[in-house]
Amino acid sequence: MKISGFTFVRNALLFGYPIYESLHSLIPLCDEIIIAAGKSDDHTITYLKSFQNIKIKILETEWDNSLRDGGLIYSQQTNIALNECKGDWCIYLQADEVLHEEDYDIIINEIKSADSKPNIDGILFRYLHFYGSYDYIGTGRQWYRREIRAFKNTGNVISWGDAQGFRIKENSKIRKLRAMQTNARIFHYGWVRPPQTQNLKINLTQKYYNNNVKFESESLDTGQNFDYDSAHELEKYQGTHPKIMLNRIEMDNEWTKYFNPTRLKKKPLIMKITDNIEKSSGWRIGEFKDFIEVK
């Protein structure tokens, strides 16, 4: 069985994406890794080429700013990479997502198990959303708990919406993928950036969700800092990080050490109630599922 890894990225250096760590967490699992690398305001493509790994294939792309409504540019770029994947299975990571080496055996075994089941299209990974530093993760319904990050490469799977999930084309119709839950984890570091970088990233990302917002150069630096107070609840992370992340974590300590986990937004009452129900029962009321779970 051959496995393809794939992703898309643009302005990885400007926005502080852990793209080196993300790609290198895929390399041990994959026979090839396809990157749709958008023309950037920094040296992202030169940086990617410096990796010099024979498994990595870079597709240089130009982003179409007319596809900004609803984040459609993200799925369009994801599909460019997906269409080049030759493996029997695909593993997808976004540029701020990293796999833990402790989960490699789980991922391979779950893929092998799912491959023999015709009613399974993909597998679900559990998410750890780090916030403000590498020591805290977001909890509660504010954060999505799981997504499909590996699936059978039938040629009929497409990235959907803003590229958080996937769909499958079947008999002239489009449906959600059928997926089974696993214990494999996605370490999501999209909320761990220097405050000024995070502010820039958030402000400019919003422009890819609304065609009516004036588009400006992504190299524009507002000079403002993100307050890191938008989370409603955090918990101390007690586990380990992927080894590939340790150097970055150490370097980032110069600013993460100032993170104050008590400066959080007040949790709305309805969220308090539903989060308490989830904690006691495991049931997340009204959870959006971008997949069909198969037990």
Report yes or no: 151 and 166 within 8 Å, Cβ to Cβ. yes
DSSP letter assigned to residue 70: G
Percent of the chain with pLDDT over 70: 96
pLDDT, residue 213, reads 66
Collapse the DSSP code of 15 into the 3-class scheme (helix H, G, I; strand E, B; otherwise coil) and give the result.
coil
Q: Which residues, 6+ apart, have CB-to-CB distance to 73 below 8 Å? A: 63, 64, 65, 67, 208
Percent of the chain with pLDDT over 90: 85
Mean pLDDT to the nearest integer, 126-147: 97
- Domains contained in the chain, CATH given: 1-295 (3.90.550)
Q: Which of 152, 4, 15, 141 is nearest to 81 (CA)?
A: 4
- In this model, does residue 2 exceed pLDDT 60? yes
Low-confidence winner among 105-114, 179-188, 203-212 (lowest mean pLDDT): 203-212
Q: How far is CA 18 from CA 95, 139, 180, 239, in A?
A: 6, 22, 28, 19
Low-confidence winner among 158-162, 212-216, 232-236 (lowest mean pLDDT): 212-216
Instruction: With cut-offs at 50, 70 and 90, classify the pLDDT of residue 217.
Output: low
In this predicted model, what pLDDT tens digit does every residue of 72-117 receive, in sequence order? 999 999 999 999 999 999 999 999 999 999 999 999 999 999 999 9
Cα distance between residue 67 and residue 75, in whole Å: 10
pLDDT, residue 214, reads 64
Cα distance between residue 192 and residue 138, in whole Å: 12
In this predicted model, what pLDDT tens digit does every residue of 3-19 receive, in sequence order? 999 999 999 999 999 99
Cα distance between residue 153 and residue 18, in whole Å: 26
Cα distance between residue 101 and residue 25, in whole Å: 7
Cα distance between residue 167 and residue 267, in whole Å: 33
Cα distance between residue 232 and residue 218, in whole Å: 29
Mean pLDDT to the nearest integer, 109-129: 98
pLDDT, residue 219, reads 47
Indicate the average pLDDT of the chain.
94
In this predicted model, what pLDDT tens digit does every residue of 25-67 receive, in sequence order? 999 999 999 999 999 989 999 999 999 899 999 999 999 988 8
Rounded to a whole number of angstroms, the distance between the first and last alpha carbons of the chain is 24
Report yes or no: 213 and 204 within 8 Å, Cβ to Cβ. no
Cα distance between residue 200 and residue 219, in whole Å: 9
Annotate 248-272 with DSSP letters as a single string. HHHHHHHHHTT--TT--PPPPHHHH
In this predicted model, what pLDDT tens digit does every residue of 243-275 receive, in sequence order? 999 999 999 999 999 999 998 989 999 999 999
pTM above 0.75, yes or no: yes
